[in-house]
Amino acid sequence: MHDDRQLIEERLWRALRERLRPAIYGAAVPLDIEVWHAPGEPVSPAEALAQTYEPAAVGTSWGPAWGTAWFKFSGEVPRDWNGSEVEAVIDLGFSGGPGFSAEGLVHTTSGRPLKGLHPRQTYAPLSILGPDGTAAQPGDRIEFFVEAAANPEIPLDNATAKVDIGAGLGDHPIYQVARADLAVFNAEVWDLILDLEALDGLQKELSLQEPRRKEILRALSRSLDALDYEDVAGTAAKARAELTEVLSRPAHASAHQVSAVGHAHIDSAWLWPLRETRRKVARTVSNVATLAEEYPELVFAFSQAQQHAWVKDNYPEVWERLKKAVAEGHIVPVGGMWVESDTNLPGSEALARQFVHGKRFFLDEYGIDTQEVWLPDSFGYTAALPQLVKLSGSRWFLTQKISWNKENKFPHHTFWWEGLDGTRVFTHFPPIDTYNSDLSGRELAHAQRNFQESGAATRSLAPFGYGDGGGGPTREFVATARRVKDLEASPKVTIEAPSEFFAAAEAEYQEHAPVWSGELYLEIHRATYTSQAKTKQGNRRSEHLLREAELWSAAAVVAGKLDAYPYEDLDRIWKAVLLNQFHDILPGSSISWVHREAEETYARLAAELEAIIAKAQQALAGEGSAQIVFNAAPHARNGVAGLGAGVTAGEGQAVTVEGGVLDNGLIRVVVDERGLITSLYDVEAQREVIAPGAAGNLLQLHVDTPNHWDAWDVDSFYKNNVRDVTEVDSVDFSTVDGVATVVVKRSFNRSSVTQTLRVRPGTKRVDIETSMDWHEAEKFLKAAYPVDVHADRSASETQFGHIFRPTHQNTSWDAAKFEIAAHRWVHVGEPGYGVAVVNDSTYGHDVNRTAREDGGTTTTIRTSLIRAPRFPDPKTDQGVHVVNHALVVGAGIPEAIEEGYRINLPERVVTGGEGVEPIVALDNNNVIVEALKLADDQSGDVVVRLYESSGGRSRATITPSFTATAATEVDLLERHLADRELTDNGVTFELRPFQILTLRFKRS
């Protein structure tokens, strides 16, 4: 037989494009159109429907970018269409893909939302276009409204990088209505298209020698032969009949099994603001609820409790449909987190609260205790997650993002992930390598070939549906799933809930699944540790203010000095902070609109939290004229106990400043005429810390032009182009309030930096305040600290502990970690000596070592201060920023931990009459109180969250200052796990390395 494969494939391609798809709709009549252009932000349906509408037509322009138009469509269904399937077909001028173009939401004349519209979802069936969403009939006059969102099309490349999407794109209309008809839907033509596409996609994945491929090609050819292009609708059934036999052959017994789960990854903000995401969620949920009525097998995984809450708060009718769909099993809450957050950057307690607030919402509203942690698109995964997953009461973890690795292919798809403390969670990476699958033959074949556990396991999961900007599954996707459910040469496809997949996968493979220990480092998007500095600073400050607000409010209530604990305010504030930890907000990868709103939110929350803190502290301090120092850190400082308040002790030997030398008797620091630290001598250890020939606090400016994804990426070649910023405008030495101080001013390019270096009495650190007036483009500024320490690894604080990463590049896995995330500190050390760099608001770092001619090793810690990417916000971080760091010498990891808390929790001075005993006391400094609060159920119980910080085993006793009548160990949601014995009003316990323990004390 001659090879006519290409001939048939090209024939099919043209037939689909030019003959079949245009024939999906037959007879059509135009709808009458009226429009009201909303003048500003979106309004409620009630307000919109009450407006005066103007005549419009196909071709009517509307917009502008980010604007809203309400369209009223009306018409009469022809009586002679009785027996036909009729739909309203609305094209608002769609240009880009779903979620990245105009979008619409169909409403009844009473304002009830019915169904979303997007470029792949342009229809509304007659079954919902009658009065108040009922079925309309031929001969009926119908009327409905569409809320149309003029979301601009945003290409995901750097060609548009200079456009400030968040600042508005002008006031001119950007869309034109392209179609508004009532039309007969030719279901047989639509089915034929799906038959052809399913078979064509399958055959293209088979080898040229495979008989199955040739049989499918012959069937495709016969089907096209049977089709009359002059009567496509009338001959579609005949064409389908030629495909029946090849579509009916069952899959091989050993075929890979795919659990298909409907999905609509909805970024809570990204290339659109939060207010638009609320509407995306309503449109998507409406689509899914409508689709489930037609396809009862549909199961849709819906994560992010925040998005469920938006529906509840803003769309009561959609909320009722959502609850019904959840009860029927069509929509399945997953994830157990408030949002799909970043996991590298949120602090310890914040990451725990993601689970607390997410899981509690699903429990309260649906009675569902979610078991799957669903994070398909975050930018790497902290090693703290497995323990938090388990402590939240969840069992499984899913992500897809690690398939984006640039340097190394991750070796597993189904495995046990082992965290910091040894906790393991059963984990799956869908080998289909997308969370927006269309279940095409190409994708399904890729999933089968790519599955790393083949031979030992048989199952994988495939999230299908339009996502990122929402939309979700369409009828085409579900109908495709029916066709590939049991099809020869294809994986078997079953639509089912994620829990069904995980239970089956775990049952067949849990004993033999491989183990991955430690963080899941993503080998891309490393610049998200630095982009949008003010957003990151706002998050860090909010986390610590929340710690203080809870601590001091609880202490004041327990002491009987405050009547009420601010439960509702703290709950609301926490949720606002957690929302802004979404994986395109906190990482700095959204449009300027999003980050501007985040900064405004942080400022508002800071004012509220400061007021809560001040009220509680004043109540605790009482009346008087003494200066009472409050210490919210877990460690004692200057004679004031951790978590307590009192009068400070003396700080130590006085400092001196002479000839560029700052000396407090513990360290001696030399700052040269360039404002650089050329010597940092540890007097006690008799050791020079700065590496020979090097200088500390050296600002280094890099050209930063990543190949893709400006705000997200920094590519390794950025290091090839570096400029040491050593020129100075001035260097001034002084002593201010007993603190040795150096002020260094620099100007370079279009920017300037003022740094204030301080050496305080009684400390072994140099505090460095850096104020940057930043006006660069595509630049990356770092501060370098080269120290004379031989370290083959660095330690970085992460949630509830720290992790080690290599300073060398022995393997491609090591080399890929050229930029790393750390929370409050990074530490390098050799046996007997170490150095830490602590910070109050930065996350990105790199740590490298070099060999010197004298045989020694220089280990350099560099903090990433600020970037200037162009996309998606071309004005990223332009303006003034102030950040604080400290170089701590002679420090082990315990000192790094202590200094990290110190710089983030500065002492507060309140005028009052008495100190405050710590609400709880611990007898082991390795065990740290991360959170102290009153129980969420408003019982008045005191909840204390602790963790083992050293990476070793620790035994400790915690003793409350109040009389406790019972103590229990609880999970993150404060549910009972075990009773704990009270002895002398204290609880003694042992912790494994990095173990988290939450104790709940009942008060008398």
Catalytic residues: 377
> Which residues pair with residue 35 across a beta bridge?
54, 71
Residues 6+ apart with CB under 8 A from 728: 673, 674, 675, 744, 745, 746
Gap between the Cα atoms of 944 and 631, Å rounded = 17
Tokens of 429: 């990476």
Tokens 């109540």 correspond to what residue?
619
> Which residues pair with residue 74 across a beta bridge?
32, 143
Write phi, then psi, for 275 (nearest 5 degrees): -65, -30
Sheet with 424-428, side-by-side order of all strands: 372-374, 396-398, 424-428, 414-418, 515-517
Tokens of 662: 């700052």
Q: 576 and 353 in contact (C-beta within 8 Å)? A: no
- Which secondary structure element, helix H or strand E, spans residue 235, and what is its range? helix 232-241
Write phi, then psi, for 92 (nearest 5 degrees): -80, 5
Tokens 């938006």 correspond to what residue?
310
> Which residues pair with residue 637 across a beta bridge?
640
* Nearest C-alpha neighbor of 581 from the set 385, 344, 382: 344
The total number of residues shown for the chain amounts to: 1004
Cβ-count burial of 933 within 10 angstroms (0-12 exposed, 13-18 middle, 19+ buried)?
A: buried
Gap between the Cα atoms of 790 and 690, Å rounded = 12
Kindly tell me the sign of the dihedral angle through the C-alpha atoms of 214, 215, 218, 219: negative
Q: 195 and 236 in contact (C-beta within 8 Å)? A: no
Residues 6+ apart with CB under 8 A from 463: 261, 262, 263, 265, 301, 376, 400, 430, 434, 435, 436, 437
Residues 6+ apart with CB under 8 A from 584: 267, 268, 269, 270, 590, 594
CA distances from 986 to 957, 962, 1000 (A): 6, 10, 12
Q: 269 and 340 in contact (C-beta within 8 Å)? A: no
Residue 636 three-state SS: coil
* Nearest C-alpha neighbor of 516 from the set 450, 404, 427: 427
Neighbours of 747 (CB within 10 A): 14
The C-alpha angle 999, 1003, 1004, rounded to 5 degrees, equals: 150
